[in-house]
Amino acid sequence: MIRSVRFTEDLSHLPTHKFGTSSITWWGVIGFMVIEGVAFALTFAAYFFLMGHEQGWPPEGRPAPNVVAGTIFTIVILLSEIPNTSIKKAALAHDVGTIRALMPVMVVVGVVLLIIRAFEFNSLNCLWTDNAYGSIVWALLLLHTTHILTDWFDTVVLYALVRTRQAYEGRRMEDVDENSLYWRYVWLLWLPIYLMIYWVPRL
């Protein structure tokens, strides 16, 4: 039974925000990345599971997807890491000016990517109703489009917020830092999907 307390240490000097593993939202973001990562990994597993049953891939001698749109998409999303890295560094340095200058670039990049993505759907040479191959290829591309769309929306909202005086709150810099971290995840996940959609059928 507790009867009294013994005071040990005063913690009022502790900071009220920190980056990386000290930030609770960083852990939240990592948690949701793992959840999505598992969902993607299992979709990849389903893809190879279905492929393992077939003599040819795509089955029945159908044409593989055209690579042009997907390749342009890959180049653009890889290049987007340049402004993304600058934003991430600026967030760590509390450099609001650079962030306000570069976040619109990321918003535009998102729109461009979504437009290219529409052409990608058009170059798959199959529909999801054709067979299980069509279903899984559409599923991969649709899942990743959802990924792009949610992060794009997140970036728009965050940009609106850093345009206010809230930008000078340290916690907003954590948000910017973690949004950039998430974008890295979006394009990293795209690379295996790109190979699976466009190049595995050509092996």
Q: Is residue 1 near other proteins by the rule CB under 8 A?
A: yes
HSE at residue 148, side-chain half, CA atoms within 13 A, is 26
Contact partners, residue 199, CB within 8 Å, separation at least 6: 67
Q: Is residue 101 near other proteins by the rule CB under 8 A?
A: yes
Nearer to other proteins, 14 or 203 (CB): 14
Residue of 93, 115, 153, 191 interacting with other proteins (CB under 8 A): 153
Q: Is residue 61 near other proteins by the rule CB under 8 A?
A: no
Question: By three-state DSSP, how is residue 2 classified?
Answer: coil
User: Using alpha carbons only, how large is the chain's radius of gyration in Å?
Assistant: 22
Residue of 121, 135, 145, 200 interacting with other proteins (CB under 8 A): 135
Which positions from 6 to 45 touch other proteins by CB under 8 A, shown as an x/- string? xxxxxxxxxxxxx--xxxx--xx--xx-xxx-xx--xx-x
DSSP string, 50-85: HHHT-SSSSGGGPPPPPSHHHHHHHHHHHHTHHHHH
Q: Is residue 56 near other proteins by the rule CB under 8 A?
A: no
Distance CA 102, CA 130 (A): 43
Q: Is residue 203 near other proteins by the rule CB under 8 A?
A: no
Q: Is residue 46 near other proteins by the rule CB under 8 A?
A: yes
Nearer to other proteins, 74 or 196 (CB): 196
